Amino acid sequence: MSLLTQDEYKSIAANLTLATGAFIDGAYRPAISGKTFETSNPATGEKLADIAACGAEDVDFAVEKAREAFEDGRWSRMHPSDRKDVLIRLCKLMTRNARELAVMESIDSGKTIYDCETVDVPETIHCIKWHAEAIDKIYDQVSPASDDHIAMVVREPIGVVGLVLPWNFPLLMLGWKIGPALAAGCSVVVKPATETTLTALRLAELAMEAGLPRGVLNIVPGGGADVGEPIGRHMDIDMVSFTGSTVTGKRFLGYSAESNAKEVVLEMGGKNPAIVMDDAENLDRVAAHVVNGAFWNMGENCSASSRLIVHKDVKAELLERIAHHAKHWNIGDPLDPETRMGALVSEGHYTKVCGYLERAENVVIGGSAKDGFVEATVVEVPGNDAVLAREEIFGPVLSVIEVSSFDEAINIANDTDYGLCASIFTANAKRAIRGARAIRAGTVTVNSFGEGDITTPFGGYKQSGFGGRDNSVHAHDQYTQLKTIWIDLADDEDEAVD
């Protein structure tokens, strides 16, 4: 996709029509209480809109309509190929409106238009399309029963699901969840983050235009206590999928235990290691991967490479090359296509990240922050016990830890409460495989930074994840129940009892 100029993007932003109501049962509606909250552009502070501030009563209404839609089968019992056709039409509409969605995402979140245009929007479309195409290609099973029986193992949609989204990838994470949930035949109630609601509301409208039946996709904006907790505690929600912080994610386990024991899938935080050994080839390429992993999306990424664990023999040269690449990660107006790092999502989050910068004792690159923007920063820490090495900062801050051996690097990589992603750079194939197996993380990349793609499951170990995986066919598992259907074929005379 060819990018526009900064002025052209600003013109699009100035002429956007923004939805402000909750989207329930196929229509925009104000919150039942009449309350609203303000959403603003984090890069400028400019007010964008007053969004419906929903509460428990709105959640009840959305769940009621989602349950009606599920039980009458308007979507859950629609032929799989017909469900696929609806979602493919949605993808076509999203493609037609891709530029509008990209600008909307940028002004709402502080993300760069470059990332929104080239990554977030196209990847969201690809995700939904991939799951749509899988609908009529995932087969159920027949077990190896006796000659007198047939045993079928079938998947059924789990029911009404609550989807609680983060603010760092608002549209993409919506796609990660509604793609498999709608493909499975579920009805959904979505809570977008209060910081980033606009694209979720717009996508709901496009889904209706594509032919998604009313009540199947509901968007309920509002705060965590007002909407998130009622979703977690709701007695008529069958399953919740949450992406966000580990602290908040754990609460949903409690909500489930205290309500209807609904299934819970959590994708949470990370303090992800990038291990660079002394035999790593092409340190310039390694540096490019490390910088991309640390600073992409302003470091507001659960899979960000926030810990660089580097062998002492190559540390100096690698840091020199990292400094060179970091210069290209400039901060500026997110609507300028030349900008690589935009504004942090909110004043509160900016203050949190700045608090970590104030604790940094040995800043080797960057370290400056102003008016919601934080430059790419590299900090050397004395060891893995340092606060900047242990806590998830969720900003463009890379902590560097020096090691002397492969075993030491692996031990430090695993010395964390998290286990989402990891990278290892080495020219030794055996070492790479040994390291990938030894690191306790859901995704381990070798000689690159990445998360896999739509075909590979994404999720974590330990306090990074619980209950399931996003992406790939495995994502469908969390939105379905397995049922055994046991059929007795024996003749009546064979069953006679003397």
Residues with catalytic roles: 267, 302
Q: How is the beta sheet containing 22-24 ordered, strand by strand? A: 27-29, 22-24, 217-219, 187-191, 160-164, 239-243, 263-267, 465-466
Of 454, 463, 429, 458, nearest to 444 by C-alpha is: 458
What is the C-alpha to C-alpha distance for residues 288 and 397, in angstroms, rounded to an integer?
15
**What are the distances in angstroms from CA 195 to CA 21, 98, 108, 166, 372?**
15, 21, 7, 9, 14
What is the C-alpha to C-alpha distance for residues 211 and 55, in angstroms, rounded to an integer?
28
Of 465, 460, 443, nearest to 452 by C-alpha is: 443
The two tokens of residue 381 are 């820490």
As a whole number of Å, the end-to-end CA separation of the chain is 78
What is the C-alpha to C-alpha distance for residues 277 and 274, in angstroms, rounded to an integer?
10
What is the C-alpha to C-alpha distance for residues 143 and 355, in angstroms, rounded to an integer?
57
Bin 106: left if φ > 0, else alpha if -120 < ψ < 50, else beta: alpha
What is the C-alpha to C-alpha distance for residues 269 and 172, in angstroms, rounded to an integer?
17
What is the C-alpha to C-alpha distance for residues 100 and 345, in angstroms, rounded to an integer?
20
